[in-house]
Structure 1
Amino acid sequence: MQIGPIALRSPVVLAPMAGVTNVAFRTLCRELELARAGTVSGLYVCEMVTARALVERNESTLHMTTFGPDESPRSLQLYTVDPATTYAAAKMIVDEDMADHIDMNFGCPVPKVTRRGGGAALPYKRKLFGQIVAAAVRATAGTGIPVTVKFRIGIDDDHHTHLDAGRIAAEEGAAAVALHARTAAQRYSGTADWNQIAELKQHVTGIPVLGNGDIFVADDALKMMAETGCDGVVIGRGCLGRPWLFAELSAAFNGVDAPVPPTLGEVADIARRHGQLLAAHFGEDKGMRDIRKHVAWYLHGFPAGADLRRGLALVKTLAELDELLSQLEPDVPFPPAAEGPRGRQGSPGSVTLPEGWLRDPDDCTVPSGADVMHSGG
């Protein structure tokens, strides 16, 4: 798959996930793909950072943009609501050689984001959306840094925006678009509507269209591409506790035998390595607080006693992590119960929007305060 000048050996993209896809997780995914599939073939995107916070040089935001020394291409996702700030952030990325690819997030369904007009609410404002995409493309013109855009089907079933968003993004110079096939009202619940990916692919023909939603095993990715005609897949919750999924995807797309799923002992080694990488990135204290949620995902479906799970949920040091993981039965094979959905799912609900938001889709007014709460990432 080709995204601007970036050629990928497999059409697979790691979705930016807040608090997950930091440099430690991306390094782990890349290491496992190389070890198990013999190559690093996809695109690994860092967790979302806020354009305003980046321009303000917020310390924690700048730390979130850390890439590994051999990480290439370096992919950075921006959350943004303002064309001027978007331009400044993209220009900063160019001038300071911070990344090789810029993605923009218009899919966040979190109420504190949509209530101010950000995330999945913003593509409803067609002209403003176009101005934001155009600003990033203008700032990166002639640099070889492609700009891509990710969005949802729309606000809810009565307000679909994905076809307009895809068309506008392509017209403004985006190198690819990605659709999470849920509405903001669905959040992460229910089933992704892959038919909407197929419709977007038919509607946007000049640039790659990527699909996202309900890919938990490699066969799901192959099925999505066969059913929708999309050019690539974006993997989110499916890789939580399964960073080796990218090796399985690489094998599937390159026509080689899939790697054997890891035993519990191998999963423990992967979790241990993840903890080491997090400690190197954050320091041991914060790194161990961060590994706790990952360990719960790693052990999903595996037999592990309640006391051991409780200890791992409170782990404080690398030595303690190592000691607790060593108590797992190493020869337990990967269980069928470990497959399937993981991470947040929740329930659908009405989308909170700014007062009068739906009145005029052509209103270009930048939503007030929509990026303030995200300063710092």
Structure 2
Amino acid sequence: MTTEAPATLRIGPYPVDPPVVLAPMAGITNLAFRKLCREFGSATSIYVCEMITARAVVERNEKTLHMMSFDEDEHPRSMQLYGVDPATLGEAVRIIVGEGWADHIDLNLGCPVPKVTRLGGGAALPYKRALFSRIVRAMVGAAEPAGVPVTVKFRIGIDDEHLTYLDAGRIAEAEGAKAVALHARTAAQRYSGQADWSAIARLKEAVTTIPVLGNGDIFSADDAVRMMAETGCDGVVVGRGCLGRPWLFGELQAALRGQELPEAPNLGRVGEVLHRHGALLSDHLGEEKAMRDLRKHMAWYLMGFPVGADLRRAFATVSSLTELGDLIGKLDPSAPFPKDAEGPRGRQGSPGKVALPHGWLDDPDDPAVPTAADVMHSGG
């Protein structure tokens, strides 16, 4: 598969080539996983760390500061913030740029989790246009003097009756955001059903002076090429599609540069990548915690391969790097990559009614800050 190489995406001063962004995912996109993805992909794509709560930055929470770790050669260092209060988000950005902790800051407005939306956060927040405007203005005002670009990621809306993405894109553009990204689902969809790529095309028509990135249902290099061709978007944001498949970034790089795709890895190569992931996690977290963290990745790495139930269970309870190596040695290294393993992976769930604060939908131009919404969560 070949295609014409797209024009280089720029986010503020940073060229993003190929135009690919690793989406922040809770418990996934830590320093180790980002490094693994970068080893396969381009150093000039963007790899976003786990979402960070603005309140925790302001309070200099020790656990949060460790989550904000970046590799020595990682550039630009990309961080996503969550919050609902313009003052808190502005102060968090001032701290981050003042300490030189990040080169790019993204705002999370995509989280559909009930405990976030019922407090007015995440995917619920763009409905409040005046508040959203104040938040972006505060973040840009704090970041701009240091030359740090602010971007915004959001969903189509709360549900089919309350679509917010076109207003959100225009507001972010007007308040100085350097790019916007659309997860082409509503909050009510969560991660179920199909992403509506036509919404990305409509957002691209509405937002004309900054890049528009598309997100949702990119599970292969071909999906990324199709999304850019069908929507005209300037780049793609990849989340669940790379779970257990960090080499997807190499495939995306080849496809978007019009090059031949690398051969899909056999099970022997997958085992090598899995061990590398475990070693990087051990360096970052310590071996015991790393193995606990790695367990959730096992089903993704082994998806579709002929691996017996007993061996799968052993991988899911692995407790040391030595044990991991022994288990990998029991795999059939010649087993080819299964074609059906390219499909959806990770959480999907089912659609549902979005939990919102009482009276949230009454006045979209109410600028009041929702109370007690600075919770620690991620997603979107």
TM-score class normalised by the smaller sequence = over 0.9
Whether the 8 Å CA contact 1:41–1:250 is kept in 2: the answer is no
**2:272 is the counterpart of 1:269:** yes
- Normalised by the length of structure 1, the TM-score is 0.97
| Residue aligned with 2:145, SS | coil
1:129 is matched with: 132
| Residue aligned with 1:328, SS | coil
Report the Cα distance in structure 2 between the residues aligned to 1:80 and 1:233, rounded to whole angstroms.
24
Letter in 1 for 2:319: K
Whether the 8 Å CA contact 1:21–1:46 is kept in 2: the answer is yes
2:259 is matched with: 256
TM-aligned CA deviation for residue 254 of structure 1: 1.3
1:1-377 counterparts in 2 under 5 A?
Answer: 1-33=9-41, 39-374=42-377
Report the Cα distance in structure 1 between the residues aligned to 2:302 and 2:70, rounded to whole angstroms.
28
1:36 is matched with: none
TM-aligned CA deviation for residue 137 of structure 1: 0.2
Letter in 2 for 1:41: T
Report the Cα distance in structure 2 between the residues aligned to 1:355 and 1:54, rounded to whole angstroms.
28
Report the Cα distance in structure 2 between the residues aligned to 1:226 and 1:49, rounded to whole angstroms.
33
TM-aligned CA deviation for residue 337 of structure 1: 2.1
Letter in 2 for 1:5: P
Letter in 1 for 2:146: T
Report the Cα distance in structure 1 between the residues aligned to 2:172 and 2:232, rounded to whole angstroms.
19
- Normalised by the length of structure 2, the TM-score is 0.96
Report the Cα distance in structure 1 between the residues aligned to 2:57 and 2:87, rounded to whole angstroms.
13
Alignment deviations for residues 107-134 of structure 1 (CA, whole Å, 9 cap, x no partner): 0000010011000000000000010011
Letter in 1 for 2:240: R
Whether the 8 Å CA contact 1:53–1:374 is kept in 2: the answer is no
Report the Cα distance in structure 2 between the residues aligned to 1:89 and 1:17, rounded to whole angstroms.
20
Whether the 8 Å CA contact 1:302–1:337 is kept in 2: the answer is no
Letter in 1 for 2:222: D
Whether the 8 Å CA contact 2:11–2:179 is kept in 1: the answer is yes
Q: CA RMSD in A?
A: 1.0
Runs of at least 5 residues in structure 1 that lack an aligned partner in the other structure:
34-38
Alignment deviations for residues 268-313 of structure 1 (CA, whole Å, 9 cap, x no partner): 0000000111111111111101101111100001110101000111
Report the Cα distance in structure 2 between the residues aligned to 1:286 and 1:264, rounded to whole angstroms.
25
Percentage of matched positions with identical amino acids: 68
Report the Cα distance in structure 2 between the residues aligned to 1:239 and 1:99, rounded to whole angstroms.
23
Q: Alpha carbons of 1:153 and 1:299: their partners in 2 closer, same or farther (altered >3 Å)?
A: same
Q: Which runs of 4+ in 1 moved over 4 A?
A: none
Report the Cα distance in structure 1 between the residues aligned to 2:237 and 2:130, rounded to whole angstroms.
26
| Residue aligned with 2:330, SS | coil
Runs of at least 5 residues in structure 2 that lack an aligned partner in the other structure:
1-8
Whether the 8 Å CA contact 1:111–1:352 is kept in 2: the answer is yes
Report the Cα distance in structure 2 between the residues aligned to 1:22 and 1:137, rounded to whole angstroms.
25
TM-aligned CA deviation for residue 333 of structure 1: 1.0
TM-aligned CA deviation for residue 373 of structure 1: 4.5
Whether the 8 Å CA contact 2:15–2:44 is kept in 1: the answer is no
